[in-house]
Chain A
Amino acid sequence: MGNLEPNSPLKERISLALNNEFLRNAVKFTTERLRKGKQTATDELGNWEEWRSYGQAIRMHTIAHLDYYLSQFVNNVRAAGGFVHFASTAREAVEIAMKIMEAKQAKSVVKSKSMVSEEVHINQALEEKGIEVVETDLGEYIIQLAGETPSHIIIPAIHKNKKQIAELLSQVAGEPLPADTAILAGFVRSKLREKFLSADIGITGCNFAIAESGSIVLFSNEGNARMVSTLPKTQITMMGMERIIPTWEDLEVMATLLPRAATGQKLTVYMSAITGPKRSEDGDGPEELHIIIIDNGRSNQLGDPEFQEVLNCIRCGACLNACPVYRHVGGHAYGWVYSGPIGAVLTPVLQAEKEKWGEVANASSLCGACYEACPVKIPLHDMLVYLRRRNVEQGTTKKREQWGMKVFQKVASSHKRYRLAIKAGRIGQKFVARKGEIKAKIGPLKKWTAHRTAPALAPRSFREMWQDLQQQQTQIELDPTIQKRMEEMLKKRGDQHESEQK
């Protein structure tokens, strides 16, 4: 699983991220914009905390009864005339998709944004077979041209500036295009029109899957998800097996939370519910609909009290925008498709080779901002602590870091000292800063460096950068409920851990 190798030293990767002035500014600017948008939208809606609790309750219940709801979903998809496939691993998912390609003799594929398809690396498999695959989300299209990977769940090309984009698109156009947003977007529109109309297969992701009717629900702003699910004759939808919600009533809760948390919109421009292939009398829509339900490490989280809740995630990106570390280093620092706090948790738990990825958990400050931002109240910061602990227990952390972890635990296990440390708002930072580097990996580094201009070395050490960051972070106050939860959890864990060691 996961043929990405965390192939460059963290330090290198971080200095790369910190070095790229534009990236840093863009990430800061964008996350700030999204955060403010969310704030305005949730204020305007009112009762945000209650909505969050409802979202959390619905997601928790669904995951706890996932076998029931998933099988209900599957039966209803079939009743509506769709095909369902099951993939335990990324490789199986790709094999199934490739079989469908073969059956349809597909030569071209259009894709709308889907994290899970990034996760299984379907593009690579398609390209190897000589099948043209085109990402159709504007940002995804840009980074596909650049041969890169997304750096933000919602705004994947956050790290590219207009000039770089104009250069990429000029190559496609065969003539120079000006660095003008409207012109560039217009060019992409007409270019992709041809692709949509001629593609044999459309691949979509799935934001929610409604058990009671076998419908999949897609959210998009550009309209590409609609194109992909309307024009090609065959549609393949890849969905993580946890995307389920029980009923249409529950969709209203998710549709209230997701767009507001992601971009501050009341609703995304398009929300499409697709139930089965087109009816025989319909003039458009896919004639054949295949839904591939993907586990790929998710089931490992089930029944694990510390991590089950990570499956509640609705992939809104709010925790990225809230995270001081993400805002400082951007998405590529996390080294896999999922970045930010959710990436730091999801990456090691979904990847089989934990020892390679577990360190990503250290790239966080445990300030609790991610939990506060999360529309379904996932205790990401707790999970990051568990992960750090596990890394130490499993001996996957290097000696030097074990020492760091011990120091951390010593502080953490003493309730009073921990509280003091939290009050100072620095426990996480201290721990990380002591090591002088953030523990995260960069997977797609090669591709990234290849397209960067003049990758000069950071004149300042990461330690210095980190100190700046630390100062910024102390301005973030810890939510009292989080503080309490953390204290309780750490007290319990700390004791347990000590007795385990004895």
Chain B
Amino acid sequence: MNPNRSEEILKELERKAKEKEETFFQHIANRLGRPRLHTPPIQPVRGVPSFWRQYHLDFEERISLFMANWENLGGVAKRFGCKEDLVTFIRNEAETMQAKKLIRWQHPVLEQLEIEKTLPKADVTIWKESNREQLLQKAAEADIGIVVADYAIAHTGTVVVLSGATKGRSVSLLPTALMAIIRTEDVKTKMGEVLAVIQKRNGPSMPAGIHFITGPSRSSDIENDLTIGVHGPGIVYALLLDE
């Protein structure tokens, strides 16, 4: 099919949608037995209960709750006082796992760590603006994917990653093992705080993908047996960095 035909079909669908839109909304208003609403209604209840808004943990409490939750989920949680220790840990783990292929974000923290230098034999791909197919291929083949979490949530043991040109979604998804580096100052008590900061920083337009990751990929679909690593990474590290 020529590209024009494809364009035509989409244009036609757009036209139909625009045509149908108001009827669709009007029908809803009719069913609700009132005129169509054009002004924002006032929400009697918005967001979480007030006791929850007040729930805050201290810095150290947040870190330890996050780590406990992550480990309960079957992940590895470690805390490092300096970059050197973190790099050494990553290198040791990669060598123990005999990781041959790694992929990482092009992120300031990771640029400083220079993991590729400590693993001269490994093939390390850096996710930055380039060929889509090639990046996906690399991520799919990778043994380890390394990202820097934008935030973490103590209460649920969750790592939050936002997508971007140098922050591919596939890096936290396709490799067998995931290492998420978390700056301890980014660990929040609860989800609401993270949602609020993301909204504040990104204004009305959110990043295309915001991913909350809570432990290793899992399934209980076969006779209730828990299986790890069904589609996403089965081995997950939360590596907290204090500096």
Contact = CB atoms under 8 A, between A and B. Distances in A.
27 contacts: A61-B41, A67-B36, A68-B38, A68-B39, A68-B41, A71-B25, A79-B204, A79-B205, A80-B208, A100-B13, A105-B6, A136-B231, A138-B219, A185-B222, A185-B227, A221-B230, A223-B230, A223-B232, A224-B230, A227-B173, A252-B195, A253-B48, A270-B212, A272-B209, A275-B208, A283-B132, A299-B31
Interface string B212-240: 11111111111111010111110000000
B192 A189 contact: no
B40 A247 contact: no
Interface string A217-236: 00001111011011100000
Contacts of A293: 24
Nearest to A246: B43
Nearest to A226: B173
B223 A88 contact: no
A454 interface: no
B48 A269 contact: no
Contacts of A72: 40
Count chain B CB atoms within 10 A of each CB in A222, A256, A283 and give the residue with the most.
A283
A142 interface: yes
B136 A222 contact: no
B212 A83 contact: no
Contacts, number: 294
Given A252-B192, A270-B213, A283-B130, A222 B232 contact: yes
Interface in B168-195: 168-170, 173, 190-192, 195
A51 interface: yes
Residue among A104, A223, A266 with the most chain B CB within 10 A? Answer: A223
B29 interface: yes
Given A221-B218, A267-B158, A215 B206 contact: yes
B210 A65 contact: no
Most buried by B among A165, A213, A269, A273: A269
B231 A247 contact: no
Contacts of B12: 99
A61 B198 CA distance: 25
Contacts of B48: 54, 249, 252-253, 256
A67 B25 contact: yes
Contacts of A185: 219, 222, 227, 229-230
A302 B230 CA distance: 40
Given A248-B195, A299-B27, A226 B232 contact: yes
Interface residues of A, number: 103
Nearest to A251: B195
Nearest to A273: B210
Interface residues of B, number: 93
Main secondary structure of the interface of B (DSSP, over half): mixed
B206 A249 contact: no
B231 A182 contact: no
Given A248-B199, A284-B170, A285-B169, A61 B222 contact: no
Contacts of B210: 215, 272-273, 275
Contact of B231 (A58, A74, A189, A273): A189
Contacts of B113: none
Given A269-B216, A284-B135, A276 B31 contact: no
A299 B27 CA distance: 8
A265 B213 CA distance: 13
B129 A249 contact: no
B221 A156 contact: yes
A30 B226 CA distance: 12
Contacts of B192: 249, 252
B47 A273 contact: no
Interface string A247-263: 11111110110000000
A468 interface: no
A155 interface: yes
| Residue of A72, A102, A282, A300 with most partner-chain B CB within 10 A | A282
A99 B9 CA distance: 7
A65 B37 contact: yes
Interface of A: 26, 29-30, 33, 47, 50-51, 54, 57-58, 61, 64-68, 70-72, 74, 79-80, 83-86, 88, 96, 99-100, 102-105, 136-139, 142, 155-157, 161-162, 165, 181-182, 184-185, 188-189, 192-193, 196-197, 213, 215, 221-224, 226-227, 229-231, 241, 246-253, 255-256, 265-279, 281-285, 293, 295, 299-300, 302-303
Given A271-B212, A274-B208, A283-B136, 6 more contacts: A64-B32, A80-B208, A185-B229, A284-B170, A295-B27, A299-B28
Most buried by B among A83, A155, A197, A230: A230
Interface in B54-94: 69
Contact of B156 (A161, A230, A266): A266
Nearest to B22: A71
Interface in B1-44: 1, 5-7, 9-10, 12-14, 16-17, 20-21, 24-29, 31-33, 36-41, 43-44
B46 interface: yes
A51 B218 contact: no
A47 B48 CA distance: 12
B67 to A, nearest CB: 15
A104 B7 CA distance: 9
A215 B208 CA distance: 9
Contacts of B230: 138, 185, 188-189, 221-224
Contacts of B20: 86
Contacts of A273: 206, 209-211
Specify which of A80, A181, A184, A215 lies most central, judged by the most chain B CB atoms within 10 Å of its CB.
Answer: A181
B214 A268 contact: yes
Contacts of A295: 24, 27
A213 B209 CA distance: 12
Interface in B129-158: 129-130, 132, 135-136, 139-140, 155-158
A213 B206 contact: yes
A266 B140 CA distance: 29
A312 to B, nearest CB: 13
Contact of B6 (A104, A156, A252): A104
Contacts of B9: 99-100, 102-103
B214 A267 contact: yes
A424 B95 CA distance: 67
A278 B43 CA distance: 31
A181 B226 CA distance: 8
A29 B224 CA distance: 9
A466 B1 CA distance: 59
Contact of B168 (A26, A155, A284): A284
